Amino acid sequence: MAIRPPILRAGDTVGIVTLGSPRDAETINARIQFLENMGFRVVVGEYVYSSMGFVAATPQQRASDLMRMFENSEVRAIIPVRGGSGVADILQYLDYSVINRNPKIITGYSDITVLLNTLYILADLITFHSLLLLDFRPTTPAYNFDQFFAATSTLLSPRQLLNPPGIPLLSRVPGNVTGEIVGGNLTSFLDTLGTPLEVDTTGKILFIEETHEAASRVYRFLSHLIRAGKIDDCAGIIMGECSNCELAYGKSYEDLITEVMVPLGKPLMSNLASGHGYYKMTIPIGAVANLNTFDNTLTVLEPTVSSV
């Protein structure tokens, strides 16, 4: 069982880091102000406002910001500004034993996927495929905040994960399996294949989502995942949205689910509101969940934070 980070309470301190691509200071400051208006204290990393082209700072600098947040006893949650590119570059510079001894809530999606899964693997820490700093703004739907705080600020268990009203979960292949959840953004997840940080999907529930990719490229990504044995090994599959993904050769993302994923025969659920979509369900990476496509439910079976 993975380590549950301490619960997030009103008035706690959150740490802000930029681990991938940069963002303009005006946007960052507006999002920080929103967090402060919610009642949180904020600590900002040294390289949050830095920019070196498509990454914010060197891998060592970005990694040092993250490590300082884990080492800061006042920080209860760590929120990256955004994903973008380059998050995988920092992984070799992290001290996973220190992180293991100082568990904290860490959240994000997109390229943060690679970090979430690596922290689960090497630090034995439950992480959260959920909001980035960019999402802390007035236009974010209440559903997204409700999901985030249900996972990080309550001990409710078991807890069924529900899509927003009017967006049904879809059972595509029947089955009833239990396992720890891994995965996230498909492109970023593939970054680990063939490296020492490759995610072992054996007995796991594999969660996938994607954005802004033509269906032909998603087909290539899924084929890579299949050839790498990640589908053979997993217990079941959850397919999230492919937001703003274009048709290619007359085929859509939904066609890929029907024609590529369903024939694999693994228990399969699709249409999960997550990641890059407007609605963002919080998926706890490393937590034990039950995927039941007979009754169309996805249930987290343990608290995802501790009361300490």
User: How far apart, in whole angstroms, are the C-alpha atoms of residue 189 and residue 166?
Assistant: 29
Please answer whether residues 26 and 54 qualify as being in contact, where contact means their C-beta atoms are separated by less than 8 angstroms. Answer: no
User: How far apart, in whole angstroms, are the C-alpha atoms of residue 257 and residue 229?
Assistant: 18
Active site residues: 110, 209, 276
User: How far apart, in whole angstroms, are the C-alpha atoms of residue 252 and residue 7?
Assistant: 40
Question: Buried b vs exposed e over 80-100: b needs ≥16 C-beta within 10 Å?
Answer: bbbbbebbbbbbeebebeebe
User: How far apart, in whole angstroms, are the C-alpha atoms of residue 75 and residue 66?
Assistant: 11
